[in-house]
Structure 1
Amino acid sequence: MTVIENDISPEDLKKDDISDYYNTDFNILRWLQGHNTLPLNEIARKMKFHLNLRAAWNLDDLHKKERNHPIHKHWKYGITGPSGHMDNVIVNIEQCGKTDYTGMMETYSILEVMRARMVDLEQMLAHVMEIEAKTGKQAWILYVMDITGLQYNKKLYDLVTGSMKSLADFMADHYVEMIKYFVPVCVPSFATALYVVVRPLLPEKTREKVRLIGETNWRDDVLQYAIHSSLPSIWNNENHTFGGFIELPVSYPTDGYYSAKNHSVVKNAQTINVSYGKIHVVTKFIKAGGTLRWWVRGNRNFGFGVFYSDEEQCADFFVAKQVTPCFPWMPGPTLVPMEDEVVVKTDAYYHVWVSNEKSWWRTLEVQLLVESE
């Protein structure tokens, strides 16, 4: 999915694709700030990619929804209050050391993880937009990452460079310039060393925003970014009293892992080899009210998306209408297959897109089932 030149402009986007809810000066500004080294038409393409996602999953209304996905029991809500030290900045606490990310990725597909996570991301954006509407000034999220309790094990590197990188890339692609700083606190020495290794893998804008705080005096050091009332009370000790409330996350039971359920490849799935630098697309014409379902897993990193268009041959998937969020890169081998079923709303050609474009020399093997009714 290579960015190519075309004549898309921000004016075209605002005319056809952007919703009244999302159409604010500050939302447009964030795209210009986040991609300030790119030509305007490439910024417009990236924005169109996001707007297609917003339409596919009705993101404009998502901030109003309850956090009732099963994943939300394990990945807790983190917004606590204003920074107090930085104007128009809201604090979000991510309990990185206590959240069972490994269990999450062993239990749910990355598509299902994002289905749950999008609720939180849209609620963060809604808080930012609300402040901007009141003040007339740009707002941000301070993303405090609590590393307390993080344990080093052999899966940590794979998790950080695989699944969590994919989620970070997704956030950087779709929530451009929403984060003021990423502030990991109580960072142990092994995590600092790991960050040095993985730092080059992060998006450049993300790297520039990271502010590490080590294990020594971290409760005092973090106060340069946020006031006591917006930092979590779970940090309280005899010398510190914080007033923010967050719930502790719950670990996943191992008997719920996909690997523990002895699943096999679904019936009628095809094994397909995709050469390096290439894509594989399955296209079906489906009338409105029909059903499209898919199941996919791969033996290595790959990209995946489901799109629709008026033409049987889609020339540019990057700006095509999305049925479900597109992931240009996901880690492999797949721990939990991605599967879903949708009732289509439009007579169109529906394209299931599998990409090995980011590979330089290795062939991708996927098991893929695409069915329609």
Structure 2
Amino acid sequence: MTAALACAALLLTAGCSSGDGGWPPVAGTSASPGSPGTAGTAPGGTGSSSGPPAEQAPPAKGSARVLRTVTRELRTPWGLAPLPDGGLLVSSRDDATITRVDERTGKHTELGEVPGVAAEGEGGLLGIALSPDHGSDRLVYAYLTTVSDNRIVRMLYDPRKPPGQQLGAPSTVLRGIPKGVVHNGGRIAFGPDRMLYAGTGDGGDKALSQDKESLGGKILRMTPDGEPAPGNPFPGSVVYSYGHRNVQGLAWDGRQRLFASEFGQDTWDELNAIGPGGNYGWPDVEGRSDDPAFRNPVAEWPTDKASPSGIAFAGGSVWMAALRGQRLWRVPLKGTEASAGPQAFLDGEYGRLRMAAAAGGGRLWLVTSNTDGRGDPKPGDDRILELKVD
């Protein structure tokens, strides 16, 4: 496919309506943080007289400019968590370590190694997130692969201790997420509702994604202690949405609506707007379908153009890091629909891109993923970039 044809296909895809209509809030609430739509507003709508003002679409075309390389020589970086008092925490998938990077000087300080990690294939020490009360409780959450499962743990971070000894012993928050050599998911994030969300994969077993009793192929929503969050769509369950293949990106827009990136198999990668209890189709469909039982993606890409991992919001758009696609995608939104076709930046300039995180002031942190030695097209040192986006 020529570049022009590919661009046209992406534009047509992103311009399509999601076809799902207005999604209800989580049961028992008048408006659910983390779900598409807010009180008085249907996704993409203008709101009622008592609701929020009409949403404006950002410009169809944006810009992204690399301001600087923050640091280099990272090894298998996977998760990134900006600290409220400055500094960036980075997880190493294969080394099972968490490192603090000084965003001004680029200096690395290893906090310590997380015990119990079994790094193999796509598994290892994956996503990290800070407690909503990190300023007082100093807790760091991590999603990791063990010999038996994927699980979420939390640890005390004490910067007063010597380097290498600053992480306390991990305490398990949630266990039993299916593992595999591939499709381990791994992104975790606290939402605007202060609940913990996790994107999981099917672990290579497709049937798990449609099984609501399994934690595989899901987006999970739980309290900081790992209990089912109040108002979840399935009583007594941490399952928030299902029918996913491998979710590695989670982010909320300015109206507290949750979006997620998802790896396809052979045909379509996806960006989805997540509604509570929604079925996103895998393995019955990949990409869009005409079956009303499944929720369609906001945008989709051929797998060689994306293979998406971390996502972030800035300027009314989703910014999506692409691994195999080796580029940064921008998807402008109006509500829960794309308002224009996806736009690509940094195509092949920095190799595989693993993680995008909002840095404030129209800036992004962007993490590369070229050093795992597993058939990557562009081996080399990995880095964190600072970008200005508009």
TM-score category by the smaller chain? under 0.3
Larger strand proportion of the pair: 2
Which one has the bigger helix percentage?
Answer: 1
Using CA pairs under 8 Å that are at least 6 residues apart, name the structure with larger relative contact order, 1 or 2.
1
TM-score by length of 1: 0.26
